[in-house]
Structure 1
Amino acid sequence: MTFDRRLKIAPSILSADFAALGAECRAVEEQGADWVHVDVMDGAFVPNLTFGAVAAKAMRPHIRGVMDVHLMVARPDDWIADFVAAGADFITIHPESGPHTHRTLQSIRKAGVKAGLALNPGTGLDGLEWLLDDIDLICVMSVNPGFGGQSFIPSALPKIAAIRNLIADRPIHIEVDGGVVPQNAGAIVAAGADVLVAGSAVFKGGSLAAPDVYGRNIAALRAGAAAG
């Protein structure tokens, strides 16, 4: 997978029709999505319960591009092997979710998958510089994890800028997850992000019967990003 900083739109399948996840993955890619973002919640690290590795494995054949797995789970080390087997291209963890973040990131990479680190709104950048050589993606959470449909937290913008400055020319994606809409996409990209995760902003108003709405929503995100 060749690294580049061109804008990537990653619809969160959490906002799709759960009864037809494979078809929804195909639809958003056909309508212009770059990645498909899979939010994994365990009901412990975060309140909600969503997908497991079995569901991700079932979705994988329907995703031509990148499957971006975000583990919002306790003890992520126990989950990694199953999501590697399910076909994840990226596996992102939270530093609060296990005792040895560096070791967990190394184990993801050792399995041949890109490693990501997600930073909650209340998580600072202390110590991040010591992990950069083992990270392929930093996910800035612009909402508190665990629920879809929340509003963007503005303090994420200076955090994104600080991370962009910290990583310099390293090949690390900056992903932003939570409350991303066309109206704030420009500011988010201007701060330094290159991957926008969007659930409601992509799926709202559309369906498998009307997938062109997904395409218009994705185009609106790109236009908002370009305007900024």
Structure 2
Amino acid sequence: MIQIAPSILSADFSRLGDQVQLVEEAGAEVLHIDIMDGHFVPNLTFGPALVKSLRGHSKMRFDVHLMVEEPEKFIVDFADAGANHITFHLETSRHAHRVIQQIKEHGMTAGIALNPATPLDGIKYILQDLDMVLLMTVNPGFGGQKFIPNVLPKIQVLHRHLEQTHSSCLIEVDGGINLETAAAVAKAGAHILVAGAAVFAQADPKLAVAKIRHAAVLIKGE
């Protein structure tokens, strides 16, 4: 089952609440919230206060993507703010298993993100503890970037491994998702598609969600 996760990084912040409501009405299951610290990535976004302000206005699953150094320092604050899931970058942590356990101890599901050039080998011994793996199809830091097609084989390899091991871990893909690339990543084995500009930069975000889902579902034959 394909899930669509609109990314508020591309939303109109002057009417953020309305835009979140629009994509929820369109059937989006997940709200993707990019947290950047200006150190791990060259951009600075928002914090737990924004998550808390939106929590009371949406029933969507809040998927917090920490693009920050020392992600363990942010877990409690985002849990208290109402996050359902936290993903952190393998590239930022020397003790990934410990961070995963901390996330789960605070009642959330846990994921690890890999940049386009980061191989899958780094999650080999912790994959069984993960609820999700986020594969970046752009270099993180800014919305609206061009999709990197060289990541498609990585999605395929991970998907095959999860099937062979009967794992319930999900694959999320983030970066450059549009109607064309949505079909490609769904065919490769992705379960959750993060879409920013392809949703919020469109005249009708509700219709955009429906079109992306249709493109992904059509290629998978669901």
Q: CA deviation at 1:197?
A: 0.2
1:111-131 CA-partner distances (Å, limit 9, x unpaired) = 110001001001001132211
Partner of 1:46: 41
Equivalent residues of 2:35, 2:68 under 8 A apart: yes
What's the counterpart of residue 15 of structure 1?
Answer: 10
Are 2:170 and 1:173 aligned?
Answer: yes
Q: Gapped runs of 5+ residues in structure 1?
A: 1-5, 207-212
Structure 1 contact 8–35 (Cα < 8 Å) conserved = yes
Residues in 1 aligned to 2:31 and 2:92: alpha-carbon distance in whole angstroms: 23
2:65 maps to what in 1?
70
> How far does residue 62 in structure 1 lie from its aligned partner after superposition?
1.6
The secondary structure found in structure 1 opposite 2:20 is: helix
How many Å separate the matches in 2 of 1:220 and 1:27? 14
Structure 1 contact 41–49 (Cα < 8 Å) conserved: yes
Structure 2 counterparts to residues 22-101 of structure 1, below 5 A: 22-101=17-96
In structure 2, what is the Cα distance between the partners aligned to 1:152 and 1:181?
9
Q: How far apart in 1 are the matches of 2:143 and 2:173?
A: 14
Shift of 1:186: 1.4
1:152 aligns with 2:147: yes
Distance 1:33 1:162 in 2: 27
Residue 3 of structure 1 is matched in structure 2 by none
8 Å CA contact 1:120, 1:144 repeated in 2: yes
Is the counterpart of residue 217 in structure 1 residue 208 in structure 2? yes
Secondary structure of 1:79 counterpart: helix
**Which residue does 1:196 correspond to in 2?**
193
Write the letter of the residue equivalent to 2:212: L
- Aligned mates of 2:122, 2:159 — CA distance in 1: 15
Runs of 4+ in 1 over 4 A off after TM superposition: none
- Normalising to structure 2: TM-score of the pair? 0.94
1:108 CA drift (Å): 0.4
| Residue type of the alignment partner of 2:211 | A
Structure 2: how far apart are the matches of 1:111 and 1:69? 14
Deviations 1:155-180 (A, max 9, x none): 11100011112222211110000001
Equivalenced residues, count: 217
Identity, % of aligned positions:
49
Quick one: distance in 2 between partners of 1:22 and 1:226?
Answer: 28
Structure 2 residue ranges without an equivalent (≥5): none
> Is contact 1:23-1:62 (8 Å) kept?
no
TM-aligned CA deviation for residue 18 of structure 1? 1.2
